[in-house]
Structure 1
Amino acid sequence: MARNHTRRRALSLIGSTGIVAIAGCTGGGDESDDEEMSDGSNGEEMNNGTENETMDDSEDEMNESMGNVRVAHLSPDAPNVDVWVDGDAVLEDVPYRAVSDYLELEPGTYAVKITAAGDPDTVVFDDDLEVGEGDYTVAAVGELAEENRPFEVAVFEDDLSDPGENARIRLVHASPDAPAVDVTVGDGETVLVEDAAFGDAAAVEVPADMYTLEVRPATETNDGDVVATFDVEPEAGTVSSAFAVGYLKPKSAPVDEPFDLEVVVDHGGGDGDH
């Protein structure tokens, strides 16, 4: 990878964020404390109960004030990467199309650097990114070759709220050579997403069912020729992201990575919970 992209701009959420792993702290009493709690007077038990409630409330407030951030490698011609925060490698050897688990972090500003895996001198991104409360996906998009789209880091705010009996699906357009797209189902009878350009994210809630997503170049009447179809079967109560990746014309692209849809369960369905 010959290029060395360095960006020095401050990005505020909801605009950008950094990644840092934070170790959780758990406290536990010793055996003598346990005996005191079990053998103490009613007043002591009531006091202990009040203290426990206060600790639980404090923990809930702390969790609500934290951020959850994950990294998505969506740049087709970038190598596997390492992600550094304040000089420490927090993710290593991340391959193309990989989406990490959410990492819990405190709000603040972090120095984030992305380098070729195992080669810290080959830098593709170097920036100060600000973290806020909430859930976010930090995505490497575009190309190092810059034939269609320049390499950049995009940040998407994730809505992980419970969709109830429906399922929520979010399309993220990260295909460098694809135009703005419409996404339909049922031979165009139902429009789920319209006019989503590169770098856009659009969410829709649908009943749990099997769907064949039809990707079309965006038109005013949402009836462009279908360029790709993808079968998805979202479950009730789940939140998913569908990342449109790769190239519509891979043979003439910097790398031969065909257009595809990388679907990840963000929340619900067991593995997606955090």
Structure 2
Amino acid sequence: MVQNHTRRRALTLIGTAGGVALAGCMGGDGNGDDDSSDDSGNGMGADDGTDDSESDDDMDTSMSNVRVAHLSPDAPDVDVYVDGDAVLEDVPYRAVSDYLELESGTYAVMITAAGDADTVVYDEDLEVAEGSFTIAALGELADENRPFEPAVLEDDVSDPGDDARVRLVHASPDAPAVDVTVGDGETVLFEDAAFGDAAETEVPGGEYTLEVRPATETNDGDVVATFDVAPEGGSVYSAFAVGYLKPGSAPADEAFDLEVVVDA
């Protein structure tokens, strides 16, 4: 049986202050006004043609907010390149960057060991739609339990009203599917969350002790870890379950833990 871990998690954003250096940013070129002026000369007899073309130009450029979460316990600090440009440098394990604003579209994303562009751990094209997203580096380079593979998670940062919205992301390579309960199992917040899964719930603001259990049909498995959290109403959070249940026999000595960040 794994010994219980109890942690107090301050719900604070981990961004540039947490060691993630923003090396650049990308966005539109700001030439929308010129494009709309050119289009306005091509009126086809419709009323308010100039206004319509300007509106169409604005609608054609959809934007995305994208951040990176380093959740691979045996991977080194990394640099992240987008279309050949370094946008994040020296990203350590468990860090979650601030959001970068991008135009929606397809980008060549490459992840390398920090300061070593020849050691490439990921090099693929990723399509980014309009909205807010987290590119989460999951799994292990050693591929002992789970293969290394970034996952694109859509972030619901809409207003949750008076409640707090909490998303659980299972990123622990050696942990089974889990149930998360509170109140000695009386209330089930998440059930049967497997590695790579992301699930959301909304709760009133307040203090909670989260109980992590191996998933069972009755949600009453033995508690393997507990974490104290205090979400505030009107806020949105992501809780990343990271590390190993058995770090002594894992590729990296990173114990099972919960990394909580503020999304909105």
Q: Same fold (TM over 0.5)?
A: yes
1:214 matched residue in structure 2: 211
Pick the aligned partner of 2:143 from 139, 142, 146. 146
Partner of 1:22: 26
The answer to whether the 8 Å contact 2:94/2:259 transfers is yes
**Structure 2 counterpart of 1:78, from 47, 61, 75:** 75
Please tell me the residue identity of whatever aligns with 2:126.
Answer: L
CA shift in 2, pair 1:175/1:63, >3 Å: farther
**What corresponds to 1:48 in structure 2?**
none
How far apart are the structure 2 equivalents of 1:265 and 1:63?
A: 30
Aligned residues: 220
Name the CA shift for 1:64/1:222 in 2 (closer, same or farther; >3 Å): farther
Amino acid at match of 2:146: R
Q: CA deviation at 1:63?
A: 10
Determine the C-alpha separation between the residues in 1 that align with 2:164 and 2:150. Answer: 27
Give the structure with higher Rg (CA): 1
* 1:251 and 2:248 aligned: yes
AA in 1 matched with 2:190 = V
**Which structure 2 segments of 5+ residues have no match?**
1-23, 32-50
8 A contact 2:180–2:190 mirrored in 1: yes
Structure 2 counterpart of 1:167? 164
Larger RCO (CA under 8 A, 6+ residues apart): 2
Q: Aligned in 2, Cα 1:233/1:64: closer, same or farther, shift over 3 Å?
A: farther
Q: How does 1:233-252 map to 2 (within 5 A)?
A: 233-252=230-249
Q: 1:24 Cα deviation (Å)?
A: 6.7
Cross-structure match for 2:226: 229
Give how far 1:70 is off: 0.5
Percent identity, please. 79
Residue 132 (str. 1) matches residue 157 (str. 2): no
1:69 corresponds to which residue?
A: 66
The AA in structure 2 aligned to 1:164 is G
Distance 1:24 1:64, change over 3 A: closer
Structure 1 Cα separation of the partners of residues 60 and 185 of structure 2: 43
Question: What SS does structure 2 have at the residue aligned with 1:251?
Answer: helix
Contact 2:243/2:254 (8 A) holds in 1:
yes
Which of 101, 116, 125 in structure 2 is aligned with 1:104? 101
> What secondary structure is seen at the aligned counterpart in 1 of 2:263?
strand
For 2:28 and 2:235, the matched residues in 1 are separated by 27
CA distance in 1 between counterparts of 2:155 and 2:213 reads 25
How far did residue 65 of structure 1 move?
Answer: 2.1
Distance 1:108 1:162 in 2: 26
**In structure 2, distance between residues paired with 1:176 and 1:255:** 11
- Normalising to structure 2: TM-score of the pair? 0.79
- Distance apart, 1:196 and its partner CA: 0.2
Q: 1:46 is matched with which residue?
A: none
Is residue 91 from structure 1 mapped to residue 91 from structure 2 by the alignment?
no
Q: Which runs of 5+ in 1 are unaligned?
A: 1-19, 28-53, 268-274
Q: Determine the C-alpha separation between the residues in 2 that align with 1:119 and 1:233.
A: 39
Name the amino acid aligned to 1:117. A
RMSD: 2.1
Return the TM-score normalized by structure 1: 0.76
Whether the 8 Å contact between 2:165 and 2:237 is mirrored in structure 1 is yes
**C-alpha distance in 2 between matches for 1:204 and 1:119:** 40
